[in-house]
Amino acid sequence: MYVTRKADYAVRCVLHLSKYPEQVVSVNDIAKAMHIPKSFLAKILQRLVRKNIVMSIRGVNGGFQLSRNPKDINLLEVIEAIQGVTAANICALDSKKCRLSSTCSVHPVWVGIRKEIEKRLREWSFSRLAEAKR
């Protein structure tokens, strides 16, 4: 599993929105707060809208807000919304991609790692993240 900048920005973005629930925040504001190139973020938000994680309000004073309670959105969901399902090794994603997977003793290691990562990412809801202290 490798997290692209795009997915990383998406996470930051949702995290920011989680801190201002019910409020409408513009792309510009999110971009400045989270250090994300504005037009790139706009693209990312389009995708989050389609995936029903965020909703958009057009026109003057428009912007974005979460379409669900942050407790019902987790890290895994946001990352997969942007980059699709991934794994550290393609063999853990699709054993057909690997001619050896049925006999290879490394295969179960990758599958185990994938499950562990997904479990951890699923455990972190954005309400939990927003509350977390550093």
- Interface with a copy of itself by CB under 8 A: which residues? 1-3, 8, 11-12, 15, 34-35, 75, 86, 88-89, 91, 99-100, 102-110, 112-113, 116-117, 120-121, 124, 129-130, 132-134
Question: Is the separation of the CB atoms in 43 and 60 below 8 Å?
Answer: no
Question: How near is the Cβ of 120 to DNA at its closest, in Å?
Answer: 21
Q: Which of 72, 92, 89, 73 is nearest to 81 (CA)?
A: 73
Task: State whether residue 21 is helix, strand or coil.
Answer: coil
What does 32 interact with, of DNA, a copy of itself, none (CB < 5 to 8 A by kind)?
Answer: none
Question: How near is the Cβ of 75 to DNA at its closest, in Å?
Answer: 17
Q: Is 105 in the site for DNA (CB under 7 A)?
A: no
Closer by beta carbon to DNA, 67 or else 127: 67
**Which residue has 């979460």 as its token pair?**
66
Among 21, 23, 32, 43, binds DNA (CB under 7 A): 43
Please list, in sequence order, all residues whose beta carbon lies within 8 angstroms of the beta carbon of residue 115, skipping any fewer than 6 positions away: none
> For 56-96, where are the alpha helices, taking DSSP H only?
75-83, 90-93
Closer by beta carbon to a copy of itself, 61 or else 103: 103
DSSP summary character for residue 89: S
What does 22 interact with, of DNA, a copy of itself, none (CB < 5 to 8 A by kind)?
Answer: none
User: What is the crossing angle of helices 38-50 and 27-34, to 10°?
Assistant: 120
Contacting positions for DNA (CB under 7 A) = 2, 4-6, 26-28, 37-40, 42-43, 45-46, 49-50, 56-64, 83
